[in-house]
Structure 1
Amino acid sequence: MTRETTLTPQMAEQAAARLGLAGPVELLASERDLTYRLLSGGHGYVLKICHAEEAPWVVAFQLGALRHLAQRAPGVPVPRVLAHARLGYEDGLERETYVLSWLDGALLSRHRGGRAQAAALGTVMARMCRALEDLPPPPAPPAQLWDVAQALQIRPLLAEIEPGPARLAGAVLDEFEARIKPVLDALPRQVIHNDCNPHNVFVDPAAPARITGIIDFGDLTVAPRMCDLAVGLSYQMQTAELRATIPAWLAAYEAVAPLHPGERAVLAGLIRTRMAMTVAISSWRAARAPENAAYLLRYRAGAMACLEAGDGIFAGVFGDE
C-alpha cells in the first residue's frame, strides 16, 4: 500500500468541515495515510484521511482501541476520537476519515535519555498493554507487515533490497525461525499498539521524563505482548547512553505487568528481529517511494549499526538468553 498522493489540502479542509470542524490544515509526516494538523475554533486537532484501500473494519478496530483505552485507562495519554465517517472525495474514491484530539508535547526522538524517562516509558507501555488485555480482537486481525510475530513474511523482500542489508536481516530471520518463533507461538496473544517508536511518543520538553502522548495506532495487531515491548526497546538499544536505561524501563514495566520466564527468554531475540524488520522494510519501501525516503529510512542506520555490532551489546543488557 503506497502513500496517498492524490488529495490536496483544500480537499482535506472540506473533509474536516463535513465532520463539523472547519479550518486550515497542515500536512504532517506519515507512512501511507494522510495526516494533518487541523486548526478549528482556536484549537488544534488531528485530521486523518486513511488510504483508499484501507478496509473500514480495520479503521474501526483502531478507533475502538482508542475508545477502549479512554474508558479502561484514562490516564494513559492517547488521542480521543472526536468524529469519524466514511467520506467520498473528488477523485471518486471513498476513504475512512476521522478527527482526534491534539496531544501537546515534543517528539521523544528530540528529547531522549535518562533513567527517569525510561521508567516513565516502561510504566506507560505496561499500563496500555494491561488495559488492552480485555479488548476483544477482530475475528481475523489485520495483516501487518510490521508484526514481529509474523517476521518471516518479510523474507521475500530481501531479494529486492541491497545485498548488505539483506544478508544482515536474513541472518536474524534465520535465528528467529529456529529459536524465537517456537517460544513465541506458545505465548498468550492480545491486542497491542505495536509501534511505540520515538516519533510516536510525546514528552514534555520542559520535563522530558513526563510522557504526554502515544499516537499512531495504524500498526495495531494481535500478538504476544512481548512484541510490543520489543518494538519500544529496539530504539532504546541503538546507543550506549540509551541502552544503559533499559533496566530502569524493564523494572518499571514489570512493576505493572510482570514478565514470565518464557517472555524474558525471547526478549533480546525479538528486539533483534524488530531491527532486522526495520532494515528490510524501510529499504524496500524507500525504493518504491523515493520522495518519502528520508522519513522511511530514519531508523535504518541505527538498526544496522546495532545488528552489525553483534551479540555483545545485547548480552551486556540482557545477559545470556
Structure 2
Amino acid sequence: MAYSAITVSFLSECVEREWGVVALSVQSFPGEHSLTCRFDTADGPLLAKSMTLTLGDAQRELGRLAWQVSVMKQAADSSLPVQRIMPARSGEEVCVFRRDDGRVTIVHVMNWAEGIRVDGVPMTDALAASIGDTAGRFTVALADHRRPPVDTGHHWDALNMGKSLDDMIAGLAGTEARDLVIRARALYAAQVEPVLADLPRQCVHHDMHDFNLLVSSDNTEQVAAILDFGDTTWAPRVAELAVAAAYAARATSHPVRTLGIVTDAYQRHVDLSLTEQQLIGPLACARLALNLATWTVRGTTRTDSYAADRSAASLPALAALLAEFCD
C-alpha cells in the first residue's frame, strides 16, 4: 500500500472545515503510516487521526476503517473504556479529502482519552490482572460482531506471524536477537501453524500492548482506556490474550508468572478450548519475537529512540518465555 506524508496544517484545515473544530493548540504524534494530532479546543481536547493514500488504496482502507469504527462503537456501547467517535457536521464518521496530487486523505475524530500509558507505571499483579480482565471483556463484547468486508490482515496479525518473522530474520544477522527470534519462529511452526486454520476466530483488537493501554493517575492498577484500533482484525480469538499477556509479561522480572496472571483473569470471561490454552505461550513468544525483530530491523534506519522504545525489554522476556515453553 502506498502512503504519503500529511502535514499538521493540512489536517487542521480538514478538521476545522468538516468538524467545525478550531484548535487553540496542536500536538502531533506521527505513526508508522499516519499522522495523529491532539487538538486543544475551547470545549476540551480531541484526537484526529489521518492517513493519505492513492485513490485505489483508499477504497480498501475506507472499508477497513469503517469496520474498525463499528468495532469501537460496539465496544463503547458494551461499557468498555474506549474513545467515542465524533461525527463530522455532515454526519459522516470518516471523511475523505482529495488532494491536488491525486491522492486522498482519510480523517476521523474522537474524544481525547486522558491517562498514563501502562509502560509508564509499575506492572503489578493487580495491573496484570486488570489487563487480562479488559482483554477478556473485549472478547466477550465483540464475539458477535460481523466479519470485516475487506481483508484486514497485517504484519502483526497472528495469522501472518510466520511469514512476518521470516521476512525479518534476514535483517537480524549479527544481532543478539537473531537466535531467540529463530527459536520463537520454530515454536510457532511446530505448535501454532498445524492448528491455526481450526482456531475459533472473531473480531480482535490485536494490539493491547503497554503503549495502547492507559491507567488513571488515581489508580495505576486498573486499565482506564484502550487506544488505537488500527490493527483490529478478524483473527484467532486467543490472539487477544496472547498479545496482551506478552506485553504485560515483558514489563516484569518474572514474565512467566505475569503471563499466568493475565491468562487467569482473561479466562474468567472466556472459556478457551484446551488447544487455545496450549497456544498462549507459543503465540506470546511469537509476538515478542516479531516485536523484537521488527524494531531491531527498523531501528537501523532511524536516528531517534522510537524503535528502541517499542522493543524495550522484549529480549529478556522472550528468553524467559522460550525457556518455559520450548521443550
2:124 corresponds to 1:111: no
Deviations 1:104-157, CA, capped at 9 Å, x for gaps: 111111113222222221111111111111111124432300012221112133
Q: Distance in 2 between matches of 1:140 and 1:224?
A: 17
Aligned to 2:82, what secondary structure does the other structure show?
coil
Distance (Å, rounded) in 1 between the aligned partners of 2:2 and 2:32? 8
> CA distance change for structure 1 residues 253 and 87 in 2, over 3 Å: closer, same or farther?
same
Task: Decide whether the 8 Å contact of 1:149 with 1:227 is kept in 2.
Answer: no
Measured against aligned partners, the alpha-carbon deviations of 1:28-69 in whole angstroms (never above 9, x if no partner) come to: 252221010011223111100124255211211211211222
Superposed CA offset, 1:52-99 (max 9, x none) = 25521121121121122223x1x2011111132011245542111010
Shift of 1:242: 5.9
SS in 2 for 1:255: coil
What letter matches 1:126 in structure 2? G
Structure 1 length-normalised TM: 0.88
Partner of 1:128: 138
Closer/same/farther in 2, CA of residues 211 and 307 from structure 1, 3 Å limit: closer
Whether contact under 8 Å (1:111, 1:205) holds in the other structure is no
1:275 paired with 2:288, answer yes
Point out where structure 2 has 5 or more consecutive residues left out of the alignment: 88-93
Distance 1:47 1:124, change over 3 A: same
Report whether the alignment pairs 1:222 with 2:234. yes
Q: Which residue of 2 aligns with 1:12?
A: 11
Find the counterpart in structure 1 of residue 225 from structure 2: 213
- Is the partner of 1:256 in helix, strand or coil? coil
* More deviation, 240-249/113-122: 240-249
1:173-252 to 2 correspondences below 5 Å: 173-238=185-250, 239-241=252-254, 243-252=256-265
Q: How many residues align?
A: 311
Of 73, 80, 88, the match for 2:98: 88
Write the distance in 2 (CA, Å) between the matches of 1:204 and 1:301.
23
Candidates 141, 148, 152, aligned match of 1:138: 148
- 2:38 match: secondary structure: strand
Paired letter, 1:9: V
Structure 1's 213 and 244: CA in aligned 2 closer, same or farther, altered over 3 A?
same
Deviates more, 1:199-208 or 1:24-33: 24-33
Residue 79 of structure 1 corresponds to 83
Distance 2:206 2:286 in 1: 13
Give per-residue Cα distances to partners, 1:183-212, cap 9 Å, x unaligned: 332211111000001010010122112321
Shift of 1:252: 2.0
Closer/same/farther in 2, CA of residues 182 and 196 from structure 1, 3 Å limit: same
Alignment partners' CA distance in 2, 1:268 and 1:111: 24
Q: Which amino acid aligns with 1:77?
A: P
2:90 match: none
Give me the whole-angstrom Cα distance separating, in 1, the residues matched to 2:263 and 2:96.
41
> Using the alignment, how far apart are the partners of 1:203 and 1:283 within structure 2?
28
* Percent of aligned pairs sharing the same letter: 24
Instruction: Select between 212-221 and 179-188 the one with higher mean Cα deviation.
Output: 179-188
Aligned equivalents of 2:80, 2:74: Cα separation in 1: 11
Runs of 4+ in 1 over 6 A off after TM superposition: none
